[in-house]
């Protein structure tokens, strides 16, 4: 199902009978496709979630698609976008609990810090996953007495070079 259809269906299911239970869920839908060959094509839509970061050899970019949180308005349509995840590239999706985590003096971890961390990540650090390194950085930032305010969820999609054995 296309992301726009998927979103509209979820919104209609939530509105208006159980609106309070549905307003505010943030969601990024990510579809990956290929027809026999691996194309790296991504199809995505966004319903109020943080923008995913795509990391390539050229740098880090945000995958932008607009949309209101699920259930906010009936009949809401969501922008559907496409991108290519090139060989060697990665895509990070994350919850707001990561970027809204506070250190002892009240500063937020924030988008700029996360983006710079992804930019600085070196491919030769592959023995330690980017997720583990981000979580370690989060712990250093928040300190030992951090009281977690929200979930911290990180999903990393990596595209490796195709391996073809000739069969």
What distances in angstroms separate CA 106 from CA 76, 109, 113, 135, 156, one per listed residue?
A: 36, 10, 15, 18, 28
Give the pLDDT confidence score for residue 142 in this predicted structure. Answer: 93
Q: Looking at 20-34, 36-50, 86-100, 142-156, which range is the least confident one?
A: 20-34
Give the pLDDT confidence score for residue 14 in this predicted structure. Answer: 45
Give the pLDDT confidence score for residue 54 in this predicted structure. Answer: 93
Q: Is the pLDDT of residue 151 over 70?
A: yes
Give the pLDDT confidence score for residue 101 in this predicted structure. Answer: 94
Task: Give the relative orientation of helices 130-142 and 111-120 as an angle to the nearest 10 degrees.
Answer: 140
With a CB cutoff of 8 Å and minimum separation 6, the contacts of 60 are 53, 54, 115, 118, 119
Q: Is the pLDDT of residue 21 over 50?
A: no
pLDDT digits 0-9 by tens, 68-110: 887 777 777 888 888 888 888 889 999 999 999 999 999 999 9
Q: Is the pLDDT of residue 141 over 80?
A: yes
Q: Is the pLDDT of residue 125 over 90?
A: no
pTM of the model: 0.74
């Amino acid at each position: 199902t296309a992301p726009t259809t998927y979103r509209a269906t979820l919104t209609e299911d939530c509105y208006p009978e159980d609106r309070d239970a549905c307003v505010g869920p943030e969601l990024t839908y990510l579809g990956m496709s290929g027809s026999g060959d691996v194309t790296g094509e991504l199809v995505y839509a966004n319903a109020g979630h943080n923008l995913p970061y795509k990391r390539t050899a050229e740098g880090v970019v945000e995958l932008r698609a607009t949309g209101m949180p699920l259930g906010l308005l009936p009949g809401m349509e969501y922008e559907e976008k496409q991108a290519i995840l090139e060989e060697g590239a990665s895509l990070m999706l994350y919850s707001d609990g990561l970027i809204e985590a506070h250190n002892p003096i009240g500063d937020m971890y924030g988008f700029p810090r996360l983006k710079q961390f992804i930019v600085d990540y070196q491919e030769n650090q592959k023995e330690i996953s980017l997720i583990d390194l981000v979580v370690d950085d989060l712990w250093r930032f928040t300190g030992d007495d951090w009281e977690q305010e929200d979930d911290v969820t990180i999903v990393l999609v990596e595209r490796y070079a195709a391996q073809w054995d000739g069969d």
